Structures are given as structure tokens and as C-alpha cells.
Amino acid sequence: MVSSRYRVKGKGRNVRALKFLATLCLLVAGLAWVSIHWYLPRWADEPRSLESPVVVQLEKGMRLPEFAQRLAEEHLLSESLRFRVWVKFHRDYSRFQAGQYRFEGVVRPREVADTIEAGKTWEPLALQFVVPEGFTLKQVIERLVARNVGTREALQAIAQDPELLRSYGIRGKNLEGYLAPATYTFASMPSPREVFEKMLETFFRAIPSDFTERLSQRRIDLHQAVIFASLIERETQIDDERSMVSEVIWNRLKDGEPLAIDAALIYGIEDYKGDITWEHLRDAKNLYNNRIHKGLPPTPIGAISIESLQAVLTPTQQGYRFYVLRTDGSKRHHFTKTLAEHNVYVKQLIDSSR
């Protein structure tokens, strides 16, 4: 028969064991809480530097353990288990969107999750090119030829296709002036026509809805405004000068004076070598020689920004009739009201170039 004293001692040991287990459970739970709510969020913000860009695919139906392992294998994570636990407690994996993602430079687990949850997928570019302000149609075609979009002959034919011009309401003989300056990207290789259509759509989307009505108040149409804006675009790169150049052009048109804009003259010289000669200045066969021919040139002379187009309708009202480049290297101009003032600055420019 077991004594009551022994039974009490055994019971005491059981109580102490239970207390120990309870304390151990609390300790483990506390460590887990600290890990989940303090350590893991800080780990999720730890940066990792990638030696080269990494592309990773999240496939539909892929489970979190498998995807976390893939991220770790691509060195986007230090380890997969931490990411799995962090996502389980701090994110909703069901909201991660399938697709292809690209990461480069410095990345953090949280940023990786943010990108995938937002569905910011990446597609390799089949074509990317830039059309700068002032670029001529010829320069755009040369750039497209260099990127294997099409042959020069095919691109030229599309750029003057009457059906394409008519579908966009363009009165000109080709697309000159209507190819919007921008960076263009294509995920798959486009046809030459698709490239031109994207540039045209970009151009017409940028025009304010009331612009045509405002032009009619000035008694000019959109095509004339594009020609006008292309002159502004080629004459200044300074935003606050666009309206000043606009005023000079308007004043000369009003008084029936030649515009004398050399950018237009140069556009009409087929074999221009970099210098304007006396022969060029006297050439009446060059319809863009607006030292001889009055009014706007026959066509636009390059791609235009929306700022230059809007400047057509917002000329300053200072009485400016002349401008010439400053000599301080700023690319700004001296704007003047009289020929005498203008000649002073012209002499300065000539003297500085000697």
C-alpha cells in the first residue's frame, strides 16, 4: 500500500512539471510572437543587391512553399521559410497575381511581395525608340529602319499613304509634323503601319478638346497650326520663349513680311552640309526658303511638342518682331521690337563667333 506522503510528493512533482511546461509554452509563444510581429517585418525590409536583373514567373495555382523556394533560388530572398511565414501572417497570398516579374538593383522581400500583389508584370520589349522634339519624318524613318521595323521604301510609302492620311484628317502630303515626340515601346514586333498609327494616336490624344474651336477664332486650321508650331519647335528649346517666337511669327504674317526662319530654309535643302550659302539664300526654287517666299512654309518641318502647338494660340503681346541667339551659351534669345535693336545683338553674335 502506498503511503499518503508518497502520493503527495508525486502530486507535487506533477504540478511543478505542469508549471514548467506552461512556462515553456508561454516562452515559446512569446518568442513566436516576437519573431512574427517584430523580427520578420524587419527582415522583410532588409535590402539585397542583385548582380544582374532577375526575371521570375509566378504560375497560376503555384503554392506558396514552391514559389518562395523559387524566389530564394533566384537570390531574391535570403531563405524561403521566413518569406512563407511572413506572407502567412502579414500578406494574403491569394491576392498574388500570376505573371512574369523583373527585379534589378536593390530589392527587399516586402517590395517583391508588393510588386507581385499589385500585378506589375514585366514583358520583354520587342521594340523601343524615341522621337525627339523637332525630329523630321526622314529622321524618324531612318531610326525605324535601324531597328528593323521595315525598309525605307515601305516606311516612306506608308507615311504618305492617302488612306492613312485621310483616316486621321491630315491635309498634308505625308505625316510630317504629326508624329508625336515620345518614347515608344512594343511588347511584340509591330508592323510599320502599327508604329505610325501609335505615333499618330499619341499626337491626337494630346490635343485639347477645344483646340480646333480656338484655332477657328484665329482663322487658321489644325494643319496650319502644326506648320506654325513646327517653326516654333525648331527655333527655341526654352518653354517661356515659345510664346515670344509665336508673337514674332504672327506679327510678320500680319504685315506680309518674310518669316526669315533658317530652320525652314534648311529643311528644303536636299543635300544640306551644315552651312547656309548665298546660293541657298537666293534659291527661289526652294519653297521653304522663307527669306524669299512669304507666309508659312508648304508643310511642317518636324515633330512638335504640345507646348509649341499651344504657343501658336498664346503669343505674347510685347510688339516683338525680331530675335537672335544670345552669346552666353544659354540657348536663349534676345527679342526686340526694332531692326536697329536687333542689329546690335546680331553684331554681338557675329563678333563672339570670330
By percentage, how much of the chain surpasses pLDDT 90? 74
pLDDT, one tens digit per residue, over 192-224 is: 999 999 999 999 999 998 999 999 999 999 999
The answer for 286, left when phi > 0, alpha when psi is -120 to 50, beta otherwise, is: beta
In the predicted model, is pLDDT for residue 27 greater than 50? no
In the predicted model, is pLDDT for residue 169 greater than 80? yes
In the predicted model, is pLDDT for residue 34 greater than 50? no
Strands (E), 114-224: 127-131, 182-186
Helix (H, G, I), strand (E, B) or coil at 221: coil
Specify the pairing of strand 333-336 against strand 99-103.
unpaired
Say what the pTM is: 0.72
Mean pLDDT calculated for residue range 134-138: 96
Bigger pLDDT: 28 or 114? 114
In the predicted model, is pLDDT for residue 98 greater than 50? yes
pLDDT of residue 35: 53
Cell of 310: 499651344
Task: List the helix and strand counts (H, then E) for the chain.
Answer: 16, 8
**Is residue 242 within 8 Å of 304, Cβ to Cβ?**
no
Domains of the chain, with CATH numbers?
Answer: 48-117 (3.30.1490.480), 127-206 (no CATH), 211-320 (no CATH)
pLDDT, one tens digit per residue, over 293-341 is: 999 999 999 999 999 999 999 999 999 999 999 988 889 999 999 999 9
